C-alpha cells in the first residue's frame, strides 16, 4: 500500500442478516448511498446505508464509524410461489353468505 492511501475500518451492522462485520473503506459511505457486500452464499448484493454514526474507540482519542445497512429492495429474493393444487385435491372455494358449519342432527 502506498504511503498516501488510507483506509478506514468501519463496522457494518447488517439488518437483513442480523450480522456485524468490520470492513475497510477508502471513505465512509453516507446515508442513502449504496454499497456492495458479499452474501453468506458468496454472491454479491446491493445494500442501502440506513444510518451512520461514530463511537469513541476503546483505545485513545479515536472515533470509529458504524454503518447500519439493509439489502436494497430490488435485490431481495422474491418468495417462492405457492405449490400448484393437485388435480386430485378438492378445489378451494369461498364460503357463501349464510353458509355455516352445522353438525348433523342426531334426533
Taking only the tens place, the pLDDT of each residue in 45-79 is 999 999 999 999 888 888 999 999 999 988 766 66
User: How confident is the model over 91-99, as a mean pLDDT?
Assistant: 54
> CA-to-CA distance for 46 and 73, rounded, in angstroms?
9
**pLDDT for residue 105:** 62
Q: What are the distances in angstroms from CA 72 to CA 24, 25, 32, 41, 66?
A: 21, 20, 11, 17, 18
Taking only the tens place, the pLDDT of each residue in 8-40 is 999 999 999 999 999 999 999 999 999 999 998
Q: What pTM, to 2 d.p., does this model score?
A: 0.63
86 or 40, greater pLDDT = 40
Amino acid at each position: 500500500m502506498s504511503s498516501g492511501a488510507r483506509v478506514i475500518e468501519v463496522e457494518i451492522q447488517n439488518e437483513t442478516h442480523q450480522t456485524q462485520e468490520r470492513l475497510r473503506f477508502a471513505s465512509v459511505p453516507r446515508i442513502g448511498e449504496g454499497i456492495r457486500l458479499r452474501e453468506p452464499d458468496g454472491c454479491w448484493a446491493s445494500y442501502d446505508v440506513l444510518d451512520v454514526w461514530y463511537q469513541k474507540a476503546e483505545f485513545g482519542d479515536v472515533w470509529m464509524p458504524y454503518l447500519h445497512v439493509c439489502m436494497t429492495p430490488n435485490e431481495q429474493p422474491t418468495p417462492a410461489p405457492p405449490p400448484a393444487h393437485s388435480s386430485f385435491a378438492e378445489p378451494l372455494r369461498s364460503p357463501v353468505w349464510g353458509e355455516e358449519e352445522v353438525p348433523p342432527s342426531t334426533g
